Amino acid sequence: MIETIAAGGPKTPFMRFGDRVEIEMLNGKGKSIFGRIDQTLRRYER
């Protein structure tokens, strides 16, 4: 959003096929709330 406001559009590349995303949320005691999500972005193939 900042790039769009400042430069009229995004300049930093976002995600590409093959990129990996890992997400995990911990509670106050350091325990995982919903488990770790680990996914790789892939093109949909029928």
pLDDT, tens digit (0-9, with 9 covering 90-100), for 1-46: 899 999 999 888 888 999 999 999 999 999 999 999 999 999 999 9
First to last CA, the chain: 34
Distance CA(34)–CA(9), nearest Å, equals 35
Contact criterion met (CB below 8 Å) for 18 and 40: yes
pLDDT score for 22: 96
pLDDT score for 26: 97
pLDDT score for 7: 92
